Chains A and B, each alone.
Chain A
């Protein structure tokens, strides 16, 4: 007899948390459990969801990327500038910009063997500074190439078109993680970094890919951010890196690496957004939401540790039985 794998448990935490939060806010705030509010949350989660999915790739290979918020701001701003010069589709330039930042992070972590926190800290500072420099000290850059409000806010079949686009990107992330060779390599690297070279892989290249994916998704989030705001906001995105880590960890991504599920991470992002919206509607100070996000981050860490502890205990019991044969 084989024990149950823990994957199920870890990835169920986020959906369960959403249900609990819905119940709680539904009881506390009468206007919370309405269709309108549900749709409004469904329209809002995508920036965070994209960042969290990107973050998930970095965490899967036992890293962190604390530069995602800054990268999203920079790439969104540069995207707006390109769109103003060459037309609206050039907004997607945000993605290669994010990819470039991710490549720098990935090279530093994978090839130059920097600790993820040092490498991404360095890029946070540099990228923040760059975003300020290209905009002349943090001025918002209005998007003049076209109106994106329709794409960002008018719902089609329940979601705004850009929401559908983000969902498609997340579906691609799922395919990459679950079904592409690359995803399998990321999981291998997170699971046992030393072994990857021994079975003929190139660890630093795989690690770099993880940060590149993370950067590309941050770029997507930046494009979405500017499309929603109708302007490039070079100072936006502060605090988003924290929310993205929280969402990814609540979504069951193991901090020890090797375990991740895109849909659970999406649920994690939804949970964070439900909490923020719920607090907003229940009329507490907006600053209180910040405190709540902090609490959610720590709770996510506690959850990860608790699960690991619990499951290692379980598996030890099972393993001892296993040696009997």
Chain B
């Protein structure tokens, strides 16, 4: 959907940025901003996938576990296949889990919460099982660490990848047929079926594409930690859902714009960074994230009600 005004979250995000610049020591340095962006980059890529699932009216809890599984698989096969094939194998795992989720939700009609929580458990169990529960270090190589540490034209690869991911998401959502159908399925699946849309296939594709976004994030994250960790990024699904919710995507589906995702991600990343910089216990990250989700969704609720009133006026 075309957005004529900047989304409300943009103002919140900007306000938070100014607040951090003024109040948080060492926040407004070039190094720190780049650091925030680097952290935000991975979050952003995965949140792009989460956004697709949320627009479809679903929710993805399995991203964290599948990223962990990807890192374990990558590091396990790395010695025999080399870094590129290894990373690809890890990414394929993520996409495979996305496909399984999409099949169970789309074709079998299961609630997304149940399905993705189930695959979360299975993926993290499998990851721990493969390496016996302990992290496994990867042999260092230039190709392996390029996604995390490399630069293209002076720009870190991860940030570049995030920008490309946002562009891809925008093209998908605003200009592709499949993206348009995601909105329809999310807004009213029954009506979509009766309008002649293959709901199961569109849903499956949505989860697969979401998995592909997450796979890119998994590759960068694996490269950054340079090891296979069965407990990698346990909060990733929460943070991506929070980013989307803060950005203003209704979790009931059918609505959403890439800018909302971007600003939601930046808000989450800044909150996390500020907690570290002012030397609060890291647990505050969770508390603030939870409160931010509730506050933003609560505020958007009121705005939605106001808008509805305005709509009635126009009638």
Contacts and interface: CB of A to CB of B under 8 A. Distances in A.
B119 to A, nearest CB: 6
B118 A294 contact: yes
**Chain A CB within 10 Å — which of B108, B115, B129, B294 has the most?**
B294
Interface string B234-253: 00001001100100000110
A290 B252 contact: no
A115 interface: yes
Interface residues of B, number: 46
Nearest to B286: A129
A254 B154 CA distance: 55
A114 B114 contact: no
Contacts of B121: 239, 242, 290-291, 293-294, 297
B113 A298 contact: no
B128 A121 contact: no
A114 B110 contact: no
Interface string B253-264: 000000000000
B289 A125 contact: yes
B297 interface: yes
Interface of B: 59, 104, 108-111, 113-115, 117-126, 128-129, 132-133, 230, 238, 241-242, 245, 251-252, 281-291, 293-294, 297-298, 301
Contacts of A112: 298, 301
A182 interface: no
B115 A126 contact: no
A108 interface: yes
Contact of B114 (A115, A123, A298): A298
Contacts of A13: none
Interface string A102-126: 0000001000111101110111111
B293 A129 contact: no
B114 A126 contact: no
A5 interface: no
A287 interface: yes
B291 A122 contact: yes
5 closest residue pairs by CB, A with B: A294-B121, A125-B290, A290-B125, A126-B290, A132-B283
A294 B287 CA distance: 27
A137 interface: yes
6 contacts: A122-B294, A129-B289, A287-B126, A287-B128, A287-B230, A298-B110
Contacts of B284: 129, 133
Contact of A123 (B120, B122, B281, B290): B290
B82 to A, nearest CB: 27
A128 B286 contact: yes
A245 B290 contact: no
Given A294-B120, A294-B122, A297-B121, A129 B114 contact: no
A290 B108 contact: no
A115 B223 CA distance: 36
A300 interface: yes
